[in-house]
Amino acid sequence: MSLNILRPGLLTTVQDLGRHGYQKDGIIVSGAMDATALRVGNLLVGNAEEAAGLEITLLGPKICFEADHLIALTGANLSPTLNGQPVRLHRATWVVAGVELAFGAPVAGSRAYLAVAGGLATAPVLGSRSTYLRAGFGGLHGRALQVGDALPVGNPGTVGQQLGQQLAEGAAAGWAQARWAPGPELRPKSARHPIVRTIRGPEFATFSSRSQQAFWQQPFTVTTEADRMGFRLQGPLLERETTAELLSTAVAFGTVQVPAGGQAIVLLADHQTTGGYPRIAQVISADFSVLAQLAPGQAFRFVEVSLAEAQALYLAQEEQLRALRRGIALKVLT
């Protein structure tokens, strides 16, 4: 059982929820940029939330399924098709052997996820299948997918098997989709002017009051220097009231740091473990998906929330994921 890569797409990598516990050795977490989208996809096909899937960036790959599989596509809408016919996101989908998955123009968001029942079964490195591009390990040979790659798939669990059987009967045309989907709270919200909520960073108070105000009031744009490590932003000039150099210390997914040039950088899934630039703000966990789905050229605003609000929003999102998991468990019982 494998997925055969006919076209690799712009940047298609194997990702799970990351490589945890090795940041003290300088080894980054990696993992899906939009972890919520990957978790939803895994739940839809009956996988554990942390199973490995494909992260698909802007221009998608063309993939042929060598065997029958239960799959789900989540995250960005990159105009996916099965055998040339448009297919809906956020649905458990049965595909029979020989069906081809392709993508068209990006419509909303920049990162889509393909989850497969059983999960992608590449060899784990240090406890994770996530691809660490810069160090060249994890995923499939530590690199993005290429033409001719064959991705191994694991054996589906009981939930995945039952969900698949329910759909297989209607898949005469090659594929069939479930009629149910997760609620809107677990699907990406596309907004013309996205809002990214943040709390103050450890060095917020060292910026001039003018820069502090500008940070919340003026828009930022994602530049073309945008990858899995971080987005370099164009926005108001951010100046500190001190020239003192900082000692390197930990940085995280969502840390907004400001080099001496005064233009902010927001760190993402492949962020370095430590850094030495002042941290003006920190994006809240509940908005990592919004951040990860921004594309180069897109404008957005940072909005301030309190730490208590940020944690309440995170807990609410986790509760929604748990509710989805319970709902899917009920579907295979009936």
Positions touching other proteins (CB under 8 A) are: 20-28, 125-126, 134-135, 137, 199, 201-202, 229, 245-252, 254-255, 259-261, 272-277, 279, 282-285, 307-308, 310-311, 314-315, 318
Q: What is the nearest approach in angstroms of other proteins to the Cβ of residue 29? A: 9
Q: What is the nearest approach in angstroms of other proteins to the Cβ of residue 134? A: 6
Q: What is the nearest approach in angstroms of other proteins to the Cβ of residue 62? A: 30
Q: Which is nearer to other proteins, 106 or 275 (CB)?
A: 275
Q: What is the nearest approach in angstroms of other proteins to the Cβ of residue 182? A: 19
Q: Which is nearer to other proteins, 185 or 245 (CB)?
A: 245
**Through-space distance between the first and last CA atoms of the chain, rounded to whole angstroms:** 29
Q: What is the nearest approach in angstroms of other proteins to the Cβ of residue 7? A: 27
Q: Which is nearer to other proteins, 135 or 181 (CB)?
A: 135
Name the percent of the chain in helix, strand, coil, to the closest 5.
Answer: 20, 30, 45
Q: What is the nearest approach in angstroms of other proteins to the Cβ of residue 30? A: 12
- For tokens 């809408």, name the residue: 77
Q: Which is nearer to other proteins, 93 or 285 (CB)?
A: 285
Q: Are 43 and 70 spatial neighbours (Cβ–Cβ below 8 Å)?
A: no
Whole-angstrom Cα distance, residue 87 to residue 78? 11
Q: Which is nearer to other proteins, 108 or 125 (CB)?
A: 125
Q: Which is nearer to other proteins, 77 or 198 (CB)?
A: 198
Q: Are 163 and 117 spatial neighbours (Cβ–Cβ below 8 Å)?
A: yes
Whole-angstrom Cα distance, residue 95 to residue 244? 59
Distance of CA 62 to the CA centre of its chain: 20
Q: Helices 307-333 & 35-44, crossing angle to 10 degrees?
A: 10
Whole-angstrom Cα distance, residue 38 to residue 97? 23
Q: Which of 213, 175, 226 is nearest to 301 (CA)?
A: 213
Q: Which is nearer to other proteins, 103 or 207 (CB)?
A: 207
Whole-angstrom Cα distance, residue 112 to residue 78? 7
For every residue of 186-237, which 3-state class applies, written as one string? HCCCCCCCCEEEEEECCCHHHECHHHHHHHHHCCEEEEEEECCCEEEEECCC
Q: What is the nearest approach in angstroms of other proteins to the Cβ of residue 247? A: 5
Q: What is the nearest approach in angstroms of other proteins to the Cβ of residue 298? A: 22
Whole-angstrom Cα distance, residue 48 to residue 231? 30
Q: Which is nearer to other proteins, 236 or 254 (CB)?
A: 254
Q: What is the nearest approach in angstroms of other proteins to the Cβ of residue 286? A: 8
Whole-angstrom Cα distance, residue 265 to residue 234? 9
Q: Which is nearer to other proteins, 102 or 140 (CB)?
A: 140
